[in-house]
Amino acid sequence: MLLVAILLHAPLAAQTLQQEILPSNPSRYAAFGNSVAMDGNLLLVGSRDKPVNNLNYAGSGYLFRKVNGTWVEEAWLTAPVPEVHDEMGYDVALSGEVALLGAPDFPSSSYSGTGRAWVFRRTNGVWSMEQELVPSTAYWDSATGREVALGPNVAAVVTPMSWNVDAQVTIFEYSGGTWTETALLQPPVAFADFGTEAVFANNGQLAISDTTAVYIYEKVMGSWQRTTSLSPPPNVDARGFGHHIAFDGARILAGAPNTAIDGLFDAGRVFMFSASSGAWGLEQIIDSPLLGTTFGFGANPSLDGNLAVVSSSEGVHVLRHDGREWVVEPGFSPATLPSGGYFPISCTVSANQAAFGASGTFTPGVTADGGAYVYTLDPPFHLRLTNGPLVANDNFKFDVHGAGPNAQVWLAYSLAGLGSTSVPQLQTTLGLQNPGPVASLVADATGYGSWDLLIPAGTTGLSVWFQAVTFGQASKNILAETIQ
C-alpha cells in the first residue's frame, strides 16, 4: 500500500515541548539560535549576528540553565573587545561549566579577520572569559573558529579550507589554569574540506570529518593520533557525507542529506557507525522515511547514547535505538514557529531532552531575531511500515513502537480517509473516517510489536489509511497507502 509513502500527522505533537527560548535583549537580525549546545541542564545558544555596543554582527552567546523545570537565562557572553562583523557564536560548544564560542571574522573591521575562539568558565556562580584561543598558524581571512569542539580540558578550533590553503585543526589543552596549543592536525586527504565538523566525546576522543570520511583522533603516548577512518560502503550513494556528523564515543552518526534514493534527489540518509570490542564498523544505514515528501534527511545531527536527532525539510526526526535497530520516529516542528520561519537550523541532544535553533520573527516588533525550542524526547506511540511497495496478494509488515509495556494494540484502517472517530471503549479518538479493525497484538515489555499480514487479492488501486490504537491513545502518525 505504499505508492508514494505519504505520512500524515495526527493532531498531537510527537514530542513534548518544554519551552520556547528567547533572549532577554532581542535585536533585529541577530540570528539567535544559529548554533546550540547542551550539556545536561545547561544550554548555550549562539547569536552570531547580534549587535553588541551598536556594532552590527559582532555576535554573542547566551547561557540558559534549567531551574525547577524552567529554562532561565544565566549569562550573556560577548567578546572582551567586540568589533563589527566578528560573528562570535558562529559555532558553540559546551563541556560541563565551560563554554567555547567561535568568531571566524574577528578582528573584522574589513570583513577579513583571522578568526579565533573564546573560552568562558563559570566560577563561584559567575561566567567570565577565561582565554582567547588563536592558533599559531591562523592567517588573514582564514575564518578560524567557524567550527569548534570542546571536551574535558581539551578544545579544537578549525581553520577551514580556502581556495589555495588547506584546512587544519588546532588542539588546545587546559592545565594549570591555562589553555596551551599542543597539536596541529593536518588533513588526511588534501582539499577535501577537513574539519567540516569536529566533535569531542566525553572520553576525550575527537571525531573530525571531511567529504570522504570521518576520522577519530585520540591522545596516545602523549601525542594526538588518527586511530580510525570511517567511510560509506562502496557503490552506496552518500552525497553530502561528512558535512554533518555527531559523536558520543560509542557511535558516530554521519548524515548524507544530498543522497538520491529511488531517483529522488536530496532525499537524504544517515550512516550509523558503532564500536564493538574496540573495532569500528557500519551499524545501520537509515534512509529518509518519507520518500517524495521529505528532503535533506540527515542534516544537523546530534547523538547521545540510544537517542539521536537529525533535521529534514519536515523538521526534526528523532532516531531511537529500540534494542534491535535504529527507528525513525515521526517528524515534528513547533506549532508556534513564526510564519516564514525555518526549523531547525541547529540541533543538540543530551539525555532525553534536545534543543533546536530556529529562524524567524519570534519577538513582536523585532525582525528575524530567531529563537530556540527545548523538547523532552518521550518515546511516541507510532506506526511504521517496514516493507513496500505493497502489492495485492502479498504480505506486508507494520511495526508499532511506544505502545506501553505489554499493551493490547489494534491496527485500524479506513477506506474513507482522514476524520475524527471517538472510540469510547478505548477512551481515545482515531484520526480516521469509518475505521475498522485489521488485527491486534500484545506489545512486548518495551512497547514494541509487529504484524505480518496478507493483502487480499483483487485490491489493486485501493487507497487505505492505517493507524494504531491502544487504551487511551492513538498512534501519533497515520499511514496513507495505495495498493499496487
| pLDDT reading at 3 higher than 50 | no
* pLDDT band of 207, cuts 50, 70, 90: very high
Between 333 and 102, the higher pLDDT residue: 102
Q: 256 - beta bridge partners?
A: 269
CATH of the domain at 320: 2.130.10.130
Distances (CA, A) of 242 to 83, 143, 169, 262, 313: 32, 19, 15, 22, 19
One domain, residues 387 and 413: yes
In degrees rounded to 5, what are phi and psi of residue 400? -125, 135
One domain, residues 95 and 221: yes
pLDDT at 109: 52
Residue by residue, DSSP assigns 359-421 as ES--STT-TT-BEEEEEE-----EEEE-S-S--TTSEEEEEEES--TT-EEEEEEESS-EEEE
One domain, residues 331 and 225: yes
One domain, residues 355 and 443: no
Counting the structural domains of the chain, the total is 2
One domain, residues 394 and 263: no
pLDDT at 9: 35
Average pLDDT over residues 84-88: 92
Q: 271 - beta bridge partners?
A: 254, 285
Task: Name the residue range of residue 181's domain.
Answer: 14-378
Pairwise CA distance, residues 262 & 280, whole Å: 29
CATH of the domain at 419: 2.60.40.230
User: Residue 8 falls within a domain, yes or no?
Assistant: no
Interval 142-175: pLDDT, tens: 999 999 999 999 999 999 998 889 999 999 999 9
One domain, residues 22 and 134: yes
Pairwise CA distance, residues 45 & 50, whole Å: 12
| pLDDT reading at 107 higher than 80 | no
One domain, residues 224 and 211: yes
Interval 49-68: pLDDT, tens: 999 999 999 999 999 999 99
CA R_g for the chain: 24
- Please say whether the beta carbons of 216 and 248 come within 8 A: no
User: Residue 1 falls within a domain, yes or no?
Assistant: no
The mean pLDDT value of the chain amounts to 91
Comparing CA positions, the residue from 156, 160, 161, 158 lying closest to residue 171 is 156
| pLDDT reading at 317 higher than 80 | yes
Burial environment of residue 151 by CB neighbours within 10 A (0 to 12, 13 to 18, 19 or more): buried
User: Residue 7 falls within a domain, yes or no?
Assistant: no
**Residue 344, preceding bond cis, omega within 30 degrees?**
yes
Give the predicted TM-score (pTM) of the model. Answer: 0.86
SS3 424: helix
